[in-house]
Amino acid sequence: MALSSAARVPAGRRRLGATISPAVAYWFAVPSVILLLGTLLLPIMVMIAMSFTDYELGALEFSFLGLDNYTTLWRDAGFWRALLNTLYYVALVVPASVVIGLALAVMVNGLRHGRGFYQVAFFLPVTSTLIAMATVWKYLLHGTIGPVNHLLTTLGLPALEFFGEPSLVMPALAIIGVWSLAGFNMVLFSAGLTAIPQELYEAAAVDGIDTPIGRFFTVTLPMLGPTTMFVIITTSITAFKVFDTVAVLTRGGPQGASDVLLYVNYLEGFQYMRIGLASAITVVFLGIILLLSLIQAKVLERKVHY
């Protein structure tokens, strides 16, 4: 007769497991809880507390201001300009990087040969240092010596000052953002494509849907719903955190046309030393990202098929 699982466990081990109480089990989680509090929650709470003060970097004394920092932001035209520029950047980067990443994943996944090469090639921008590559993009899009403008003039089109024209600077930065994010999105979509059962495509073929476009819209795209939701949310958060390219290429110019929230936050905290006001900007920034993520998850969840 086969022994039960309980009977196969040595008696000493059963006695040891029986003596462990739930309280002891919670003690094993204490190191992780302390690490979480010390490295994540505590800095956030300190930042929120500092946003209600006039603390300046290096100062020994500070005073409580209440909501004055938030009132200052509400009345500051520069803050609203940075917020609108950030939203404009996100509106340009997120749709383009998601669509291009999906298109690259579908094309690469359909290859019979060289799939690994193209996956590595498209993923390389993700592994490169964005600050170093920003210098390369500054040369490529330069108004006089840049290859892009040489191509435009060769085609009989006027040269463009991508980083010197207020109306062009954010689209130029968005091009760099799409370039850096599309490869990562391609990898995520490729993982989602491999999880789609082949039987669904066979069933679609039986129903008369045998064209690539028909299979994409009836099988591939609906089955990529969870992946698409994850990609949109993560891409939106990454796009909102744009800072490197602005700090290296434009420094908020020209005429403040490329001011974004994190760059304004950096200036307030580390150039003007107003840590209290910088903390208030950070709280607003985190609140916007949280609200945006919740709205996207709520809206996209209704259209996702698991």
**pLDDT (tens digit, 9 = 90+) per residue, 119-134?**
888 888 888 887 888 8
Q: Which residues of 260-298 are buried (b: 16+ CB within 10 A; e: fewer)?
A: bbbbbbbbbbeeeebbbbbbbbbbbbeeebeebbeebee
CB 173 within 8 A of CB 258: yes
CB 258 within 8 A of CB 190: no
> What would the two tokens of residue 22 be?
């739930």
pLDDT at 202: 84
- Structural domains of the chain ordered from first start: 16-50 (no CATH), 76-301 (1.10.3720.10)
- Give residue 138's identity as a one-letter amino acid code: K
Half-sphere exposure (Cβ direction) of 77: Cα atoms closer than 13 Å? 2
pLDDT at 23: 77
pLDDT at 2: 46
Average pLDDT, consecutive stretches of 10 residues, N- to C-terminus, the chain (306 residues): 49 52 80 86 90 87 90 93 95 95 90 83 84 87 88 89 91 93 93 88 84 87 88 92 91 90 93 92 92 81 62
Distance CA 184, CA 190 (A): 10
Distance CA 205, CA 184 (A): 31
Q: What is the pTM of this model?
A: 0.85
> What would the two tokens of residue 227 be?
């992946």
Phi and psi of 128, rounded to 5°? -80, 155
Among left, alpha and beta (phi > 0; psi -120 to 50; other), residue 266 is alpha
Distance CA 228, CA 220 (A): 11
pLDDT at 203: 87
Distance CA 257, CA 170 (A): 7
Residue with tokens 């082949």: 198
pLDDT at 1: 44
pLDDT at 258: 92
Q: How do residues 50-74 score in pLDDT, each as one tens digit?
A: 999 999 888 888 899 889 999 999 9
pLDDT at 176: 93
pLDDT at 275: 92
Please name the residue ranges forming H helices in 54-165.
68-75, 77-109, 115-127, 130-140, 147-154
pLDDT at 82: 95
Cβ-based burial of 17 (10 A; exposed 0-12, middle 13-18, buried ≥19): exposed
Angle between helical axes of 115-127 and 77-109 (0-180°, round to 10): 160
Pick from 86, 264, 255, 94: which is nearest to 163 by CA?
255
